[in-house]
Amino acid sequence: MEATSVFISGSSGYIGSHFTKFFAKKGLRVFGLDRVASPPAVQSYLQDFLHTDLKNETLVKTFVKKHGIHHVIHCAALCLVGESVEKPDLYEENNVKSSDIFLRALLSCGLQSFIFSSTAATYGEPKFSPITEDHPQNPINPYGQTKLDFEKILIQSSQENGFSWGIMRYFNAAGADPEGELGENHDPETHLIPNACKAVLEMGPTLKIFGNDYQTRDGTCERDYIHVMDLADAHYRLLTSIQKGKQGGAYNLGLGVGYTVNEVVQEIERQTDKVVPKVYADRRPGDPSKLVASNAKAKNELGWTLNYSDLPTLVKTTLSWFKFI
C-alpha cells in the first residue's frame, strides 16, 4: 500500500518545517506550500513544493490533483499577537479570507481531512485554569479572533461537505529540532524564548520583559510552552486516528504547566551560566496574564505523550539551534 500523502501549508515556516520533517520521518509522503521558498533543510523532506500563496486556487488545485492528496495540515498564517493589534485587516485577509479560499480549492479535489493550526489565543483572558476545550472563546486580540473565525468556517464546511476536521489549539510553541537541522528564525523575532536566548548569546538586543504588574506569582505573564516536535506528534496521532475512522475534534496542545517570563529567563541563565541582559518595559497590548492548557483530552483520545516539552529541553534545543546558525 502506498504511503499516505499529506499537504502542509506553511512548510517553510517554523512550525510547518518541523512538521514536514516529523511526518517524512514517519514514512508519509509530504508535500509543502509556502509563499516563502523552501529552505534546503526542509526541501529534502518534501516530495514536491508549491511556491505560492494560499489564494492561488488554480495552482493549488492542479498541484493537489496531480499528487492525489486528500489530507491537509494548515499551518500557514500570520501569528503575532502584537502585530495583529496594529494591523487587524492584514490578519483578517491572511488568516480568514486566504484560508477560506484555500479550503474551497481543496474541496474540489476530494478533501478527506483538514487539520487546522489554531491557538490558545482564541480563549482570551481565562475564566478558569487550566483551560479545557470547552472554555468560552472570547479572544482579546485580532490574531485570536481570526483563528476563531476560521475554526467556525472549518466546522461549518465540514458539516456541509463531509470531510474530517481537526482543530489544534497551540499554547506557546517553542523549542527546536533536537537534531539541530531546523529551528525558529523569525525576522524580527518577537517570541520570548528565542529573544531571551539571542540576548544572552549576544545575537540580539537586550530582552524587554513586557509587564511585571500582572496578577501572577512574580508579576510577569505566565505561559504554557510546548515543544514543536510534541506538537507534530499530536497532529500525526490525529491524522492516523482520522484514517481509522475517527471524526476529528478540537484539542488543546500544551504541557499543562505554566512558567512566568522570569522563570524562563532564569532557566536560560542557569543553562548558560550567564545573566540575560534585560529591562522591564510596559505591558504589550493584547497579552493575557496567564494561559495554561488542560491537555487531558489530547492525552486520553490521541494517546499523546510529551517527550520534549519540559522547560530545560525547550531552552536547550533553542540554545543549540542559535549556536548552530
Residue of 17, 137, 195, 318 that binds ligand UFG (CB under 6 A):
195
Q: Going by C-beta distance under 8 Å and a sequence separation of 6 or more, which residues neighbour residue 85? A: 141, 142, 285, 286
Question: What is the per-residue burial (b if ≥16 Cβ within 10 Å, else e) of 43-73?
Answer: bebbebbbeebbbbeeebbebbeebebbbbb
Residue 119 near ligand UFG by CB under 6 A: yes
Q: Which stretch binds ligand UFG (CB under 6 A): 49-57, 94-102, 153-161, 202-210?
A: 202-210
Query: Of these residues, 91, 143, 214, 308, which one is catalytic?
Result: 143
Residue of 208, 237, 246, 299 that binds ligand UFG (CB under 6 A):
208
CA distance 214 to 239: 38
Is the Cβ of residue 20 or residue 195 nearer to ligand UFG in the bound state? 195
Which H or E run includes 280? strand 278-281
Residue 291 near ligand UFG by CB under 6 A: yes
Residues 121-150 that bind ligand UFG (CB under 6 A): 121
Residue given cell 529541553 in the structure block: 313
Q: Burial level of 14, CB count in 10 A (0-12/13-18/19+)?
A: buried
Residue 308 one-letter amino acid:
Y
Helix axes 261-272, 311-324, angle to 10 degrees: 60
Q: Which stretch binds ligand UFG (CB under 6 A): 28-36, 60-68, 233-241, 284-292?
A: 284-292
225 is catalytic: no
Residue 172 near ligand UFG by CB under 6 A: yes
Provide, rounded to whole angstroms, the least separation between the CB of residue 244 and ligand UFG.
30
Residue of 72, 75, 154, 261 that binds ligand UFG (CB under 6 A):
261
Cis (ω within 30 of 0) for the bond into 312? no
Residue of 207, 255, 276, 298 that binds ligand UFG (CB under 6 A):
207
**Cα angle for residues 18, 240, 70 (degrees, 5° grid):** 80
Provide, rounded to whole angstroms, the least separation between the CB of residue 210 and ligand UFG.
4
Shortest-Cβ-distance residue relative to ligand UFG: 221
Positions touching ligand UFG (CB under 6 A) are: 79, 81, 119-121, 171-172, 190-192, 195, 207-210, 221, 223, 261, 284, 287, 291
